Structure 1
């Protein structure tokens, strides 16, 4: 018992009480390439039946003062084949504004391993945007929804 209490006290003293974690850090950049997983279906039941999902790519400018430019949004299927380009010219997003791309539930071209590659830029160093996909589906009174965060695969200039 004494050893347990001593270890607990040592742990409490050794752990900083700041309340910050690695995910709380502010990420600043002039641009990035972001990989965003998208699930147009998931498998359920003992027979692994596909459960179709609608997906929405969400891009949110988190900088309170600066615009950012989305230079490309490309949609790939499970095998890595480019299915669609959603951006033919740069799209500017105002401070604290957002934009989206929607993939309908009946669109199964992407498959289980679909993804978006989003590239963005800014003229100056800004807060990196939040880029994620939101999937939702409902069948026979059963519903499912979840969020898939984007992952930076090529950082821009800091």
Structure 2
């Protein structure tokens, strides 16, 4: 093969990979699942100033069923401290969420039982594959006219 033919072959392969392969390999369909275990990082406080003073934050964990036609069941919401120790269970019995329904857990600013880096472990399931829920923690604090808020997205750590 001459150098000219080699570069034409390389060019054709590059065009194939850049233009055609994504259409074949990457679907625009949302990910569907029958259940997951989701890790959601949270912050009961952040450190401020030169002395690293703690600034307490309220935490709201939200579970949103994104599927418009099927329900899901939250089977566990466990709250762990910064060392990984279980602090409390928020779903002692399964919690059903109808299509597009949401549920939440709220911890007040004064609840620092989780330490500086608590986390939630949320487990959910469905009898058939559904669009994966949005599970996130919203942290907010306000003192003396100052406020802070931010969101932490859940990360899937296990598929059912």
Whether 2:62 is the aligned partner of 1:29: answer no
TM-score (norm 1): 0.83
- Deviation track 1:55-101 (CA, whole Å, cap 9, x = no partner) reads 00000000000000000000000011100001111110010010000
* Residue of structure 2 equivalent to 1:114: 118
Q: What is the number of residues matched between the two proteins?
A: 139
Correspondence for 2:8? none
CA distance in structure 1 between the partners assigned to 2:138 and 2:107 by the alignment: 10
Which string of whole-angstrom CA distances, capped at 9 and with x for unpartnered residues, describes residues 97-129 of structure 1?
100000110001112110000000000000000
Which of the residues 116, 124, 127 maps onto 1:123?
127
Larger Rg belongs to: 2
1:92 equivalenced with 2:96 (yes/no): yes
Choose between structure 1 and 2: higher helix proportion. Answer: 2
Counterpart position of 1:9: none
Instruction: Give, in angstroms, the shift of residue 25 of structure 1.
Output: 6.1
1:27 positional shift: 1.7
1:69 aligned residue (65, 70, 73): 73
Question: Would you say 1:155 and 2:154 are equivalent positions?
Answer: no
Distance 1:48 1:42 in 2: 8
Q: Distance in 2 between matches of 1:114 and 1:86?
A: 14
Q: Distance in 1 between matches of 2:46 and 2:111?
A: 13
Which residue of structure 1 aligns with residue 85 of structure 2? Answer: 81
Consecutive unaligned residues of structure 1, counting only runs of 5 or more, are 1-12
